[in-house]
């Protein structure tokens, strides 16, 4: 035993490959340290510092992407993290969301008359957790990433100390998030007990040698089930979605944008990686479960959204139905052998990137509009007459909502087309039909907001002002939405080799 300890050497770390994480961590620590030692910075500088950090992480990820394109995917830090295009695409989406949300938060805090570095530091630590999750090749590393992300999000949700709703949202999110983490961890424990490892690839190896080494499959299936429940809470799949509307409504709106984009992208991509890498040999068992969850999530997310009166709650249900669409892609991958995970994975990668841009843009506009109401409320009434009041803003919102509905010539169409095509190509017609019907039902919700904006008379007299940083964020989101919608090849050309996950 003592000899083992004496011989212990840590794994070799390829620092350049983990540089996005290092940059984000350095940014978070600098913001906290320098922010607390210096007198208050000029308004907007904290947000700018956070945005620049996220921007540097994006640039590094793009450099890594080019690296991977020539040298192929690989594992890092002794096999704990995977570096492949799927990881990097999600990393870029998370960092881009962090960048845009930091800008919007800066304006939001100016409206609330408070500015502090903590919120931005929490965004950056949440982004670190998210990136660790999407890169994790080990269930325990995944759990640590999940908790880093979640703990930051609980605090962000409760970060507006003046509003009771914000604290209520934080507590609800905390209790249900902790509950979900415990389920996920129990699933990890049972999987570990059956396969003797927490490495995704070793789990797959152990399960493939099943015939020669018989093990107890009941424990494994219970473990997989518990992990689905844990993930289900995190990505708010029906029937684990109850917290989502409350938390989305109560949190400060930029935080909601961050949860719905970065938080959801991280959890969904991690979910997909776990099932595609570790359990392809049990696809016959989890495939039907994913099918049922996906169908339920699509139906409930679309139908319940219709009866909401608060825009943030509507968008919360719409984000639930988006998660259902992404599961359609996962269900499609469950029909493939492990060697060829195929279209489903590519469709999911494309979907999460486009969805992140869309949702950040939409919630940014909600933030801007809510600034003008007396109590920061986000009921549908607040959007009445925006079309006459500020036509450019209303037009941007219309584009983003049409994209969420999946109308052609917007990025939403490319995203939804991808997952449905993947489902059809493996013969999951039932799920494809449900997804298409739900897309139509969900379109009604977006139409309601548009009708309010364009066809009602305004309740506010002064024009809605869009602060500079928010204007930049909204413009970026709208440009991405239209550019990918009109020229899908811009994004789709990048996806070659996306389904090649790192395995050694």
Partner 1 sequence: MIGLSLVPTASWYLILAAVLFGIGTFGVLVRRNPLVMFMCIELMLNAVNLSFVTLARQLNDINGQTIVFFVMVVAAAEVVVGLGIIVAIMRNRSSVTADDLAELKG
- Over 215-260, what HEC string results? CCHHHHHHHHHHHHHHHHHHCCCCCCCCHHHHHHHHCCHHHHHHHH
Secondary structure class of 75 (helix, strand, coil): strand
The CB-of-291 to partner 1 minimum distance in angstroms stands at: 26
The Cα 138–Cα 145 span in angstroms is: 11
Query: Across the strands, what pairs with 199?
Result: 138
Return the number of the residue (243 or 454) whose C-beta is nearest partner 1. 243
Does 263 bind partner 1 (CB under 8 A)? Our answer is no
Span of 51-59, 78-86, 189-197, 369-377 interacting with partner 1 by CB under 8 A: 189-197
Element (H, E) at 82: strand 81-83
Does 192 bind partner 1 (CB under 8 A)? Our answer is yes
Return the number of the residue (98 or 198) whose C-beta is nearest partner 1. 198
The CB-of-244 to partner 1 minimum distance in angstroms stands at: 11
List 189, 221, 409, 503, residue binding partner 1 (CB under 8 A): 189
The Cα 71–Cα 135 span in angstroms is: 18
Distance of CA 208 to the CA centre of its chain: 31
Return the number of the residue (244 or 294) whose C-beta is nearest partner 1. 244
Return the number of the residue (200 or 466) whose C-beta is nearest partner 1. 200
List 234, 273, 313, 416, residue binding partner 1 (CB under 8 A): 313
Secondary structure class of 392 (helix, strand, coil): helix
Return the number of the residue (73 or 145) whose C-beta is nearest partner 1. 145
CB 60, CB 83: distance < 8 Å = no
CB 122, CB 381: distance < 8 Å = no
The Cα 173–Cα 419 span in angstroms is: 29
Does 443 bind partner 1 (CB under 8 A)? Our answer is no
Does 165 bind partner 1 (CB under 8 A)? Our answer is yes
Query: Across the strands, what pairs with 81?
Result: 76, 136
The CB-of-213 to partner 1 minimum distance in angstroms stands at: 12
Rule CB under 8 A: which of 93-152 touch partner 1? 140, 143-144, 147, 151
The Cα 127–Cα 265 span in angstroms is: 11
Does 249 bind partner 1 (CB under 8 A)? Our answer is yes
Does 383 bind partner 1 (CB under 8 A)? Our answer is no
> Which stretches of the chain bind partner 1, using CB under 8 A?
140, 143-144, 147, 151, 154-155, 158, 161, 164-165, 167-172, 174-175, 178-179, 181-183, 185-186, 188-190, 192-193, 196-198, 245-246, 249-250, 308-310, 313
């Amino acid at each position: 035993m003592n000899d083992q300890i004496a011989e212990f050497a840590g794994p070799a770390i390829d620092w350049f490959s983990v540089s996005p994480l290092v940059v984000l961590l350095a940014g978070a620590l600098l913001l906290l340290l320098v922010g607390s030692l210096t007198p208050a910075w000029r308004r907007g500088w904290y947000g700018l510092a956070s945005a620049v950090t996220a921007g540097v992480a994006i640039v590094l990820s793009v450099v890594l992407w080019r690296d991977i394109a020539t040298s192929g995917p690989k594992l890092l830090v002794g096999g704990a993290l995977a570096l492949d295009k799927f990881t990097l695409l999600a990393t870029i989406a998370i960092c881009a969301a962090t960048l845009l949300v930091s800008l919007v938060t800066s304006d939001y805090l100016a409206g609330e008359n408070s500015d502090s570095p903590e919120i931005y530091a929490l965004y950056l630590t949440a982004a670190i957790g998210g990136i660790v999750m999407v890169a994790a090749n080990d269930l325990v590393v995944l759990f640590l990433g999940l908790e880093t992300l979640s703990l930051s999000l609980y605090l962000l949700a409760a970060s507006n100390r003046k509003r009771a709703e914000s604290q209520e949202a934080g507590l609800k999110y905390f209790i249900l998030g902790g509950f979900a983490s415990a389920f996920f961890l129990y699933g990890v424990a049972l999987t570990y007990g059956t396969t003797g490892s927490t490495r995704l690839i070793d789990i797959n190896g152990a399960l493939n040698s099943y015939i020669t080494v018989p093990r107890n499959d009941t424990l494994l299936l219970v473990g997989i089930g518990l992990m689905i429940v844990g993930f289900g809470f995190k990505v708010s799949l029906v029937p684990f979605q109850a917290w989502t509307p409350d938390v989305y409504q109560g949190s400060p709106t930029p935080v909601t944008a961050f949860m719905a984009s970065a938080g959801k992208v991280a959890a969904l991509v991690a979910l997909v990686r776990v099932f595609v890498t570790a359990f392809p040999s049990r696809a016959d068992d989890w495939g039907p479960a994913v099918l049922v969850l996906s169908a339920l999530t699509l139906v409930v997310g679309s139908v319940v959204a219709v009866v909401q009166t608060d825009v943030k709650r509507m968008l919360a249900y719409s984000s639930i139905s988006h998660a259902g669409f992404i599961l359609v892609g996962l269900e499609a991958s469950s029909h493939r052998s492990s060697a060829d995970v195929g279209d489903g994975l590519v469709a999911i990668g494309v979907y999460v990137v486009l969805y992140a841009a869309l949702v950040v843009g939409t919630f940014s506009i909600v933030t801007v509009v809510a600034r003008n109401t007396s109590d920061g409320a986000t009921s549908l009434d607040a959007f009445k007459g925006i079309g006459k009041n500020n036509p450019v803003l209303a037009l941007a919102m219309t584009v983003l909502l049409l994209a969420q509905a999946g109308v052609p010539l917007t990025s939403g169409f490319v995203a939804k087309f991808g997952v449905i095509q993947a489902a059809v190509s493996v013969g999951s017609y039932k799920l494809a039909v449900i997804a298409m019907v739900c897309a139509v039902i969900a379109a009604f919700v977006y139409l309601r907001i548009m009708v309010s904006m364009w066809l009602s008379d305004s309740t506010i007299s002064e024009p809605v002002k869009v602060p500079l940083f928010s204007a930049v964020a909204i413009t970026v989101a709208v440009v991405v939405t239209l550019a990918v919608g009109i020229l899908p090849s811009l994004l789709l050309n990048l996806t070659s080799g996306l389904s090649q996950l790192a395995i050694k």
